[in-house]
Structures are given as C-alpha cells and as structure tokens.
Amino acid sequence: MKKFLVPFTFFFVISCAPEPSEDPNIELVRDEYEAYFNDFVARDFDAIASHFQVPAMNRGTSPAVVLSTQDEVSAFFESLPIQDGYSYSLMDRIDIYRLAESVYYVDLDFTRYSTSDQILFEGRSLYFFGNETDAWKMFAAAPVQRDD
C-alpha cells in the first residue's frame, strides 16, 4: 500500500502546485500589440496611432522615419504602401521578450492576404514597447529577415 501512496501523494502535490508566475507585462504588451494589429488590418489610421508613444521610429521604409506626433504616425500609416489587393493579415507566430524593466519587444511572423485569400507577402517584424506613460505603447518597429 505504501508503494502506491507515496507516488500518488507526490503526483497530487506536484499537480496542485501553482504554476510559476509569468511576467504580467508580457500579456499587457501582447494585448496592446493585438489591438494595434487589428487596427492595422482595419486600416484605422487614427486608432493605429493610438498604440504609439512619440517620438516613434519606423525602419520599414528607407530611409527610416521618426514620427514626432500622433498625427504624423496616422499620416505615415495612411501613406504607407501596401501590397495591391491587400485584404487582411494573420499572425503566424508571436513571441514577446523583456529587454529591460520598461522595454519589451514583439517578434512577429505574419502573412498578408488578398481578397481571394492568396498570399501577397510573408514577413517578420520587431516591435518595441515602452511604458513611459503607465501604458504599454510602441516606440519603434523594424522589419527583419523571416526564418522560414
């Protein structure tokens, strides 16, 4: 009987132990990024701008741009060239990492699709978030090579 109880008790105690706590900021950054992503797909430029702290840098264009106001962020995304026939994007992979106490980055693989669900573009970008205003906001974005 003891042979049965000892492993059973050990399993029970382990299964009832609390999960190691995750960094709650990762979920906050994820929520903010997902809201930005949804606004990007909807092409709601003022809403996109609301996810940025300024000044913000975008390296998705050449040369890179620094946007000093929310209006500049909104205008930048409105003028940003996107693939002809673009309809929507999907996140293929999202990872979030802490760089410092108040700096995190999102590493995202994404795919853009046409209205006929054809792949227009597969990409990867890094999005950097800070918490200077007690809310997680993006302050920089840069495309990087996708690992596929």
DSSP category for residue 22? P
pLDDT digit string, tens, across residues 53-105: 999 999 987 788 899 999 999 999 999 888 888 999 999 999 999 999 999 99
Token output for 102: 């108040």
pLDDT tens-digit series, residues 129-148: 999 888 999 999 999 998 86
What is the rounded (10 degree) CA torsion for 63, 58, 44, 93? Answer: 120
What digits encode the pLDDT tens for the residues 11-66? 443 344 444 448 999 999 999 999 999 999 999 999 999 999 999 999 987 788 89
Longest CA pairwise span in the chain (Å): 74
Nearest to residue 85, comparing CAs of 106, 110, 114? 114
Asked if pLDDT for residue 108 goes beyond 90, the answer is: yes
